[in-house]
Every structure is written in structure tokens, then in C-alpha cells.
Structure 1
Amino acid sequence: MSAVVYVLSTVTGYVLTSAFLLKCPSLLHRRKREAFRSRHISHRGGAGENLENTMAAFKHAVKLGTDMLELDCHLTKDEQVVVLHDSSLKRSTGINAYVADVAYADLPPYLCKLGVSFKRDCYCEGGEDKRIPLLRDVFEAFPSTPVNIDIKVNNDTLIKKVSELVIQYKRQDLTVWGNSSNEIVKKCHKENPQIPILFSLPRVLLLLGLFYTGLLPFVPIKEQFLEIPMPSIVSKLKDPQRQTRSQRFITWLADKVLMRKSLFDHLTGRGIQVYIWVLNDEEDFQRAFDLGATGVMTDYPTKLKEFMEKNNYTTTIK
């Protein structure tokens, strides 16, 4: 009987200690230094208001006062770092080729009309700017705006060249980079540990495992940014009538597991920013901020700005 009492008291003590440290992370971990904090993040520059990943989109978002530009990078045949989401040019330009097989000077322009990936049956029609820009162009045009870079392919040269550009433009404190691939994130961190990194998908799963077992308060974390989707928006992206019962259950379960205020509060208490993507409706903006997310990533920067002003959420560029 005494052994059972001992085990129960030990488990109870562990649970209480874990719960306490979850709410008071600074007792075990020094808070990470935040060079900037972003609440308003423009996905691909604001893909619902201008053609995605174009200078026109970035200029519009920055003029609105966005805290951060999110963009994607690839490498051309002549090893130029370009801002482009897909490895194939088919969806964005109509040309059946891969960006890695085309020199920068030969890249075709964007199509006049592109679908908005995170808004069902919505399209964006662009103006005169249909050029695929260089990452260098973005850095030169917006020297003080934080940029979130998704390294789209596992390419050592791409990672090295992005790092070189960050150093050249003195943006180590204004840049975060990574990918869902753990291998890419590891290479990024090895190439330049001065640039903050995102959680990869395997590291997100590990994070959740640590959180639900109560171990998270005791474990050091190297990442400074957690970017996760809000699973519930799936019902807005796909016709609910075409989703099976099991698909709806999986979405519901994923939402319950990921969207945890206590997790977000603990991470932000350790200086780790939490961004939720890609949200394009006011009720989702509200939910994200209510959950304690640091920032919201959107295709509609004007809509997010208006929501934040109406609800007294302020942008926080430093």
C-alpha cells in the first residue's frame, strides 16, 4: 500500500510542478530576445489583394503597415534567388516548366488571374506588376520590414545564397526562415545560426508530445517561431458536403489538439512567437488572438488591418 501511495504522490507532485512551470516558464528558461514582434503578417504579400509574391503585393502590405511579409524562395537555373511559391511554373505562369530549369532573365510573367489558395472559389486579378521578383529586390525595397522566408526546396545552394543575402543586407534580426521539412531547417540553422528558425513539422509533433505529457516546461527549445494552421478553416476551403465523416472528425480532432491557449501562452512566455495561418475571416482572426497567438497570417491584409483597428489590436513593428 505504501508503494502505491508513493507512486501516487510522486505523480501528483510531477503533475503539479509541470502545471506550475507551464504557467511560469521563466523559472527554468531565460526568455528569448525578440528583435521584433509581429501581429499582422501578409501571406505571400497578401495574395487575395494583389498577385502573390509580387513587389506590388509587398508594397501594398507595407504601405498598410503590416508587421511582416511572408514569402517563398526558389533558385533559378543561373542560381538567382527568386520569390515564388511553386517549384513548377504551371499554376502561376501557365508555362509547363520548373523554375530550377529556367534562367532568371527567361522567367515568364505571372498570369493575370490567380486563385487564392486559402479562400475557396476566390481569385485575384493583378495589375501591371506580373514579374517574379528576386529576394534581393524585397530586401532593398523594405530594409526595416521583417520577412518570413519559406525555403521551398532542399537545396544547399539556395540556403547558402539566402543566408548570404541576409548577411549582405544586415537582416539577421529581421528575418526568420525554415520549412516543414526538418532536414531543411537543420541545414538553415547550420548555415547561419544567427537567423531565427521556424518549427519544422516533426518538431511541431514533438512539441505537442512534450506538451501533452507535461514535459514541455523542462525542455529547452532552439526555435523562436511556431507557425501552425488553424485546422477548422478546412471547412471553408472544401465543400462540407464533399467531406466524409472521418475527414470531419480528423479536422475536429486536429483543431482540438493544436489550438491550445495554454500551449501558446507558455511559448510566448518563453519569447517564442506563435503565428496562425492562413486566416481570411474575422471570426478566425478573433479566435486566433483570443487563443493567445502572437500574430495572424492572412491573404487579405486590408481586412486584417481593419479588424485590428476596430478591436484595438495594434501592430508592433520595432
Structure 2
Amino acid sequence: MAEGLENTIGTFQHAVDLGTDMLELDVQLSQDGIVVVSHDNEIKRTTGADIKISDTKFADLPPLHTHQEVTFLNALPVCFPDATDRSFCRLRDVFEKFPAVVINIDIKNDDDELIAKVGELVREYNREDLTVVGSRLESVIRKVHQQHPDIPLFFSAKRVVQLVLLFYSGLLPFIPLKESCLEVVMPSIVWGERWADTVPTKYKVLARVVDFLLMSKVLIRHLDRRGIHTYLWVINNDADFERAFSLGAKGVMTDY
């Protein structure tokens, strides 16, 4: 989103034009049951309107601001005064516009209707081989897997913790895994330039511990051999790109 307004068809098209291999997006459910592409349910940050998507009909959603803050960018908020596409889009719109592009969907809420509709859309557009679905919430992952066992999943936060425990206990090779992708933050970005003066020392120490445990070449290689790809985020500078791929990541998620 450092090169365009987040979660718009125009910005997704720009990313595809630049050669991206996968689009990462988040979904919410509007008041009238539309699966909307948006990181936030409360959209004051992106629109200035103090409303929720879940309380608003899709047709009534306001346009996006032309200026937005990029959380993981080492810079001031970015501005796109000439942006022509300022509208929220539907997940259906993304599927129709990019039928051959791999799309990673993060379901933000444990909402049965949202979960069901995402699965239905994946099936409607025959995208089971081109879509990865998941959530930080294990309850969401379980429901997706129960309803649509053929849709690839990424690890929830709880499952990432379990993965690390299994790995360091030596049990991981003997445990079946339902997930197809490991998508985690690269903790080293927490003590980088962006948060050097804002993150308390105790959290930087915690990030270093997590980085030591999770950013393991052996773990990533083991997962890769089992057909589980690792993607790291949010990677926005050359040093982090180099480190991510040196660890064995198959890809990265970036604002550029």
C-alpha cells in the first residue's frame, strides 16, 4: 500500500503489473452480507468516517482517504492526491478481476456467515488451487477446514506456538499438519529503524527471543520438505528481504 490506496482494485492491479506472485488481503462482512476487502472493520483510519463495515451497507461505504499511514514503512504517511480508485471492493470483484492470481485471504473475525461466504466464493470461482485462507484465530481455521477441507490454510497464532513447541521437542516430524502455509511476522523488524524509539525494551527482548525460536532455517526447511511454504512479513527494506530469503522463505509480504 506504499504505492497506492490499500485494498482497492487499482492497487491490486498495480501489484500484479509489477509481477507480484500473490495478493494478500483481509475480509470483513457488511451489514447486507457482502464480503468486503478491508483490514479494519472500523474504518475511521482509512476513510475518516467513524463507522463499522459490519453496521453499514456496502453501497453506503464512504470513499477512502487519499492519505494513509503505512504502519511498516520507515517514513511519514503517504498521500495519493490523484488516486481515482477510492472505493472499497468486494472479494467477488477481486476474484473476477484476477482469476489466475494466487490470493491469500485473512478472515479477521470469527463470524459464521463471513466464513461460509468466503468458502462459497472460493468454490464458485473454482479457486481451491489458487487461494489460501486463514486467520490468527484457530476457531476460524477449524471452521474453514470443516466446511472446505480442500481449501489450503495458513497457521493460526495458536498453531504457530504449537508448531514451535513440536519442533523443539523433536516431535514435529511425526505430527500431521493440516496447514499449507506458514505466514508469520519476521520479528527482527520490531527492533529496526521504524520502531527503534517507540517499542519498549521488554518487547524488543521478547521479539529477539521469538526471532531466535521461529526464524530457524532448519524449521523452515523441514516445512518446505513437507510441502508447507513459509512467507514472512512485512518486509520493506533490502536487508530484511535478504534475510528472509536466506532463511529459506518462499516469499515475502511487502507494502511495495
TM-score (norm 2): 0.96
Q: Quick check: 1:95 aligned with 2:45?
A: no
Rounded to whole Å, the distance in 2 between the matches of 1:242 and 1:166 is 40
Aligned position for 2:183: 227
Aligned position for 1:245: 201
Q: Equivalent residue of 2:190, what SS?
A: helix
Rounded to whole Å, the distance in 2 between the matches of 1:77 and 1:203 is 31
Q: Equivalent residue of 1:183, what SS?
A: helix
Aligned position for 1:129: 85
Please, which moves more after superposition, 276-285 or 247-256? 247-256
Aligned position for 1:213: 169
Asked if structure 2 preserves the Cα contact closer than 8 Å seen for 1:182 and 1:203, the reply is yes
Q: Write out per-residue CA displacement over residues 145-178 of structure 1, whole angstroms, 9 at most, x where no aligned residue.
A: 0000000111111111111111111101100001
Aligned position for 1:86: 40
Rounded to whole Å, the distance in 1 between the matches of 2:254 and 2:36 is 21
Asked if structure 2 preserves the Cα contact closer than 8 Å seen for 1:119 and 1:237, the reply is no
CA RMSD of aligned residues (A): 1.2
Task: Give 1:189 deviation, angstroms.
Answer: 0.9
Rounded to whole Å, the distance in 1 between the matches of 2:39 and 2:204 is 28
Q: 261, 271, 292: which one pairs with 2:248?
A: 292
Rounded to whole Å, the distance in 1 between the matches of 2:158 and 2:193 is 25
Q: Equivalent residue of 1:147, what SS?
A: strand
Rounded to whole Å, the distance in 1 between the matches of 2:87 and 2:201 is 43
Rounded to whole Å, the distance in 2 between the matches of 1:242 and 1:105 is 39
Task: Give 1:239 deviation, angstroms.
Answer: 3.9
Asked if structure 1 preserves the Cα contact closer than 8 Å seen for 2:234 and 2:255, the reply is yes
Asked if structure 1 preserves the Cα contact closer than 8 Å seen for 2:27 and 2:106, the reply is yes
Aligned position for 1:282: 238
Q: 115, 135, 147: which one pairs with 1:191?
A: 147
User: What amino acid does structure 1 have at the position aligned with 2:222?
Assistant: H
> Aligned residues: percent identity?
48
User: What amino acid does structure 2 have at the position aligned with 1:294?
Assistant: K
Rounded to whole Å, the distance in 2 between the matches of 1:185 and 1:245 is 33
User: What amino acid does structure 1 have at the position aligned with 2:53?
Assistant: V
Q: Quick check: 1:236 aligned with 2:192?
A: yes
User: What amino acid does structure 2 have at the position aligned with 1:98?
Assistant: K
Asked if structure 2 preserves the Cα contact closer than 8 Å seen for 1:159 and 1:191, the reply is no
Aligned position for 1:158: 114
Task: Give 1:50 deviation, angstroms.
Answer: 0.6
Q: 1:176-187 alignment to 2 at 5 Å?
A: 176-187=132-143
Please, which moves more after superposition, 186-195 or 116-125? 116-125
Q: Equivalent residue of 1:292, what SS?
A: coil
For the pair shown, the structure with the greater C-alpha radius of gyration is 1
User: How has the CA–CA distance of structure 1 residues 237 and 77 changed in structure 2, closer, same or farther, with 3 Å as cutoff?
Assistant: farther
Q: Equivalent residue of 2:96, what SS?
A: helix
Rounded to whole Å, the distance in 2 between the matches of 1:193 and 1:242 is 42
User: How has the CA–CA distance of structure 1 residues 110 and 165 changed in structure 2, closer, same or farther, with 3 Å as cutoff?
Assistant: same
Task: Give 1:238 deviation, angstroms.
Answer: 4.8
Aligned position for 1:48: 2
Q: Equivalent residue of 2:253, what SS?
A: strand
Which structure 1 segments of 5+ residues have no match?
A: 1-46, 301-318
User: What amino acid does structure 2 have at the position aligned with 1:272?
Assistant: I
Aligned position for 2:60: 106
Aligned position for 1:261: 217
Task: Give 1:102 deviation, angstroms.
Answer: 0.3
Aligned position for 1:174: 130
Q: Equivalent residue of 1:241, what SS?
A: coil
Rounded to whole Å, the distance in 2 between the matches of 1:86 and 1:66 is 23
Rounded to whole Å, the distance in 1 between the matches of 2:79 and 2:26 is 20
Number of aligned pairs? 254
Q: Quick check: 1:201 aligned with 2:157?
A: yes
Q: Quick check: 1:65 aligned with 2:25?
A: no
TM-score (norm 1): 0.78
Asked if structure 2 preserves the Cα contact closer than 8 Å seen for 1:274 and 1:294, the reply is yes
Asked if structure 1 preserves the Cα contact closer than 8 Å seen for 2:107 and 2:134, the reply is yes
Task: Give 1:120 deviation, angstroms.
Answer: 3.7
User: How has the CA–CA distance of structure 1 residues 137 and 266 changed in structure 2, closer, same or farther, with 3 Å as cutoff?
Assistant: same
Quick one: higher RCO (CA 8 Å, sep 6+), 1 or 2? 1
Aligned position for 2:30: 76
